[in-house]
Amino acid sequence: MPKATTVRFTDEIFARLDQASARTGMPVNSIVIAACLEWMQRHTPAPGVEPGAAEQAGWEPRSVPVPPRWATLRRAVEVAVGKRATTGVYPFERFSSNAKKLLQVAQTEALKAGFSYIGTEHMLIAAIGDAEFQSAKILAALNIEETAVRAAIDKAVGRHKTAVPTRIVPTSRVKVVIELAFKLCAAAGDPKVSTGHLLLALATEVEGIAGHVLKDLGATKLRIESELSGLTEPEA
């Protein structure tokens, strides 16, 4: 009969697992299981097999297939919603110009802060950084200022200033937010994913840092949705 167990990790270890998940596309649970199986093959071989005997005989453990990495947020979008559309247009092109800018700013924010990954918190900072964004207009209507957002994020994640990394990848939660933004856009019947859809997706994905910060600041999913529905002009 199959047995189950629960493993608890420190925040630091889980953050490293989340980064590994973002780099490989594998779920955190799969990474943990693969690591355990590899350790067992090395240190607790099957009965009758001496430790190291398999390697001495020229046998090597079967490697675990690794999905393609996400090199950029554009790649994260492609992974989230599938390969190219039949028209030959990348799903990334289904974002409004401002939404594309938001994603670029999020990547810049992560780099400036010295992070090796792009998190939902970086997307939230980007969402309020340009007054022309639907997301910024919605947050302004809810009386939420950029200084309050940054302070709440600093409190949630702590200050993290290191050497600027040469390459960063989106976290698995960013992928979920992108998926949600596309679904919310489709449900509303809108032609392109806007910064408003991205903000609503950040509030919908309640487990992310951005979701917690928005909730603490009073920007609930329902309030954001209400303000978004009141914006009649399409986003650039």
pLDDT one digit per residue (tens) for the chain, 236 residues: 556 666 776 656 766 676 666 555 566 677 777 677 666 666 665 555 455 444 444 434 444 333 344 455 666 666 665 544 444 444 778 899 999 999 989 988 888 888 888 899 999 999 999 999 999 999 999 999 999 999 999 888 876 555 555 567 888 899 899 999 999 999 988 989 999 999 999 999 988 999 999 999 999 999 999 999 999 888 98
Domain 73-229 of CATH type 1.10.230.10: no
Q: Using H for helix, E for strand and C for coil, what is the string for the chain?
A: CCCCCCCCCCHHHHHHHHHHHHHHCCCHHHHHHHHHHHHHHHHCCCCCCCCCHHHHCCCCCCCCCCCCCCCCHHHHHHHHHCCCCCCCCCHHHHECHHHHHHHHHHHHHHHHHCCCEECHHHHHHHHCCCCCCHHHHHHHHCCCCHHHHHHHHHHHHCCCCCCCCCCCEECHHHHHHHHHHHHHHHHHCCCCECHHHHHHHHHHCCCCHHHHHHHHCCCCHHHHHHHHHCCCCCCC
Domain boundaries, the chain: 1-69, 73-229
